[in-house]
Amino acid sequence: MSDQPPGRRGFLRGVGASALAWGGAGLLGTSAFEGWSGAPALATTADGSGFDYTARDTFDTFDRLFHDSGGAGQPDQPNEAGGLAWGQSYVLAAFMRMYAAYRDTYYLDRLVHNTDLVLGVRDSARGVTDYTGRSQPAWRAANPYTVGAVRLTDDAGLDVLEVRSALTYADQTTATVRAGSSVDRFTLEVSNARTGATATFADVTMDPASADYVVRRVYDAYPTPTMVTARDLRPTPTAAAPPRWGAFGLTSQPVIFAVHTGMITYPIATFVATVYAEPRLRRRYGAKAAEYLEAVRAAVAVHDPEWEAGEDGLGAFRWPKGMPVPYDGTVQPINQSVALGRTYLELVRATRDSTYRDRAARLARMFAGQIEVDADQAAIWHYWPTSSQMYTGFAKSGDPATDVSAYTPAYGSNGVGAQQYEDTSHGAIEADFAVLAHRAGVHFQTPDLERLARTYTRNLATTTPEGIATTYVRVDGSGGLAPSGQYLQAPRWMAVAWWDRAVFTHARAIYDGWQVQPSSGSLVLCVAELNWYARRGN
């Protein structure tokens, strides 16, 4: 994806009197709209100077073109590469925003149509399993997010050694076994084609008593460029011949992420709560709401083993050690925990279930406790909880059995881990969660929301040297001018615009300035957010 979206003049050059040639359209793939021949009916501003991103017609066009494109994030596509979580989930949320803006059940019908398709590609419906071997009522993902693994065999075809890589895009990693200096030795090379990174372990052996035992050599060398770990698969490891020679591709392992489940189920739960709250909707949508409620309950329950509730009244999700993700064994990033928290809050609205309310309250207290107030009275916070091992860093214990993480034995150095502040896009999830919690009477108060609005207006909002509205990368104003993958997400902060209209004004200026075109599911939501505030804000 290009870092900068094409401007309006570049867009208009491709528009004919009766057709639109989308090839080479920057944010869109060269064949993104193959087979679609109509010119977009984007509404324009009153003076004709550009598209009106607060107009219903503009949203409807974004909706239509996104779905006609067949691009990533379509409702009938499985979530294997995260397309439902980071594409279709935004579209479903957009339908609920548009319903809130216009009170037209057309948008509820659109959500029902897409949600039926989304539920149809759950693992349990497809008959596929996650890394545990279970087929569950949620949506698994793999490459580029999860650990890649390959089982190397001996000459008899028996599994003897598992080689793993925690590098992203692990599917593009290859383990190569070559001859060593003697018949009982071999060289293991693990390389990633995407990054060009390689880790080489020369003249290793399968003998656990040897100083060159491959599992120990790989462990001692960590961290390596391809983040390699290894596991002996033999029931009783002893000195033996090496794995058979050759090059063997790693396969990313399927995992159901809490953040993905949260992103996908949040707008579905919003639909349920909305139907239950409005008597006029129950006759038409009551059966669907009941069906979706059970589906959402089942999906969020998949993550019960990851939930941690502390005696301090806080809560978060932790990846279990051994789950094939890069930082297994550690607490998940704040945005990933509260993504599921938004679903909990909508389930509270729909069911009054005290368990969901307790979890939402614990997540709210956790997030609130991570917020610092800067000199401009704006809220700032880090990507990882400051109490987490990812934030502080961790070292190898000397024994994989007692390490924090199976796939990342060590992280950081000198007690310093990943301490970056949150970014614009992920921060929008947390800001939206805080507003939902506030409206549910859960922890967050008006001053908290005012500080979150100032996060946007004082730390994120800025302009390019040419005077076009944009954002900085991180919530503390750091990271420099944001790439399009960040600044185009600005309207997703719209929930806090109720505490400062300048959030809406600046986010709209970004879209007006860049003349954003239809492409991804998140942009469909962003146009819905602009419609929502323009229609309902004050």
383 near 367, Cβ under 8 Å? Answer: no
Between CA 188 and CA 502 the distance in angstroms is 57
123 near 139, Cβ under 8 Å? Answer: yes
The partner residues of 361 in beta bridges, in order of sequence, read: none
Residue 28: pLDDT band with limits 50, 70, 90: very low
Residue 218 has a pLDDT of: 99
Q: What digits encode the pLDDT tens for the residues 324-362?
A: 999 999 999 999 999 999 999 999 999 999 999 999 999
Residue 305 has a pLDDT of: 98
Q: Which residue has the tokens 């070559």?
A: 178
Average pLDDT value for residue range 153-171: 97
Token digits of residue 5:
């979206």
395 vs 33, higher pLDDT = 395
Residue 50 has a pLDDT of: 77
Average pLDDT value for residue range 133-140: 99
* Share of residues in the chain with pLDDT > 90 (%): 90
Average pLDDT value for residue range 213-225: 98
Residue 40: pLDDT band with limits 50, 70, 90: very low
The partner residues of 172 in beta bridges, in order of sequence, read: none
183 near 361, Cβ under 8 Å? Answer: no
Between CA 168 and CA 87 the distance in angstroms is 19
Q: What is the enclosing helix (H) or strand (E) of 24?
A: none
Q: Is the pLDDT of residue 148 over 50?
A: yes
Q: Is the pLDDT of residue 534 over 70?
A: yes
Token digits of residue 262:
């949260």
Q: How far is CA 428 from CA 32, 181, 230, 263, 469, in A?
A: 27, 56, 38, 12, 18
Between CA 362 and CA 351 the distance in angstroms is 18
* Alpha-carbon dihedral sign for residues 318, 319, 320, 321: negative
276 near 285, Cβ under 8 Å? Answer: no
Q: Furthest-apart CA pair in the chain: how many Å?
A: 80
Residue 24 has a pLDDT of: 24
Helix (H, G, I), strand (E, B) or coil at 531: helix
Residue 106 has a pLDDT of: 99
Residue 3 has a pLDDT of: 38
Q: What digits encode the pLDDT tens for the residues 45-94?
A: 655 557 899 999 999 999 999 999 999 999 999 999 999 999 999 999 99
Q: What digits encode the pLDDT tens for the residues 516-533?
A: 999 999 999 999 999 999
Residue 34 has a pLDDT of: 25
Per the omega criterion (within 30 degrees of 0), is the bond before 223 cis?
Answer: yes
Q: Is the pLDDT of residue 388 over 80?
A: yes
Q: What is the enclosing helix (H) or strand (E) of 11?
A: helix 8-13
**DSSP code, position 308:** E
Q: What digits encode the pLDDT tens for the residues 423-476?
A: 999 999 999 999 999 999 999 999 999 999 999 999 999 999 999 999 999 999
Q: Is the pLDDT of residue 179 over 90?
A: yes
Between CA 397 and CA 377 the distance in angstroms is 41
Runs of H (alpha helix) within 242-399: 258-277, 279-301, 334-351, 354-370, 389-392
Residue 510 has a pLDDT of: 98
Q: Is the pLDDT of residue 22 over 50?
A: no
Runs of H (alpha helix) within 29-145: 56-69, 83, 89-102, 106-119, 123-126
Between CA 533 and CA 538 the distance in angstroms is 8
Residue 17 has a pLDDT of: 24
Q: Is the pLDDT of residue 42 over 60?
A: no
Q: Is the pLDDT of residue 15 over 90?
A: no
414 near 455, Cβ under 8 Å? Answer: no
88 near 73, Cβ under 8 Å? Answer: yes
Q: What digits encode the pLDDT tens for the residues 80-119?
A: 999 999 999 999 999 999 999 999 999 999 999 999 999 9
* Share of residues in the chain with pLDDT > 70 (%): 91
Q: How far, rounded to the nearest angstrom, does the alpha carbon of residue 411 sit from its chain's CA centroid?
A: 22
Between CA 91 and CA 76 the distance in angstroms is 13
262 near 235, Cβ under 8 Å? Answer: no
Q: Is the pLDDT of residue 404 over 50?
A: yes
> What is the chain's length?
538
Helix (H, G, I), strand (E, B) or coil at 226: coil
Runs of H (alpha helix) within 143-251: 214-221
Residue 230: pLDDT band with limits 50, 70, 90: very high
Average pLDDT value for residue range 19-31: 24
Residue 48 has a pLDDT of: 54
- Looking at beta carbons, which pairs linking 461-464 to residues 24 or more positions away fall under 8 Å? 461/490, 461/502, 461/503, 461/506
Q: Is the pLDDT of residue 29 over 90?
A: no
Q: What is the enclosing helix (H) or strand (E) of 438?
A: helix 424-439
Q: Is the pLDDT of residue 288 over 50?
A: yes
Residue 27: pLDDT band with limits 50, 70, 90: very low
Q: How far, rounded to the nearest angstrom, does the alpha carbon of residue 62 sit from its chain's CA centroid?
A: 22
Q: How far, rounded to the nearest angstrom, does the alpha carbon of residue 441 sit from its chain's CA centroid?
A: 27
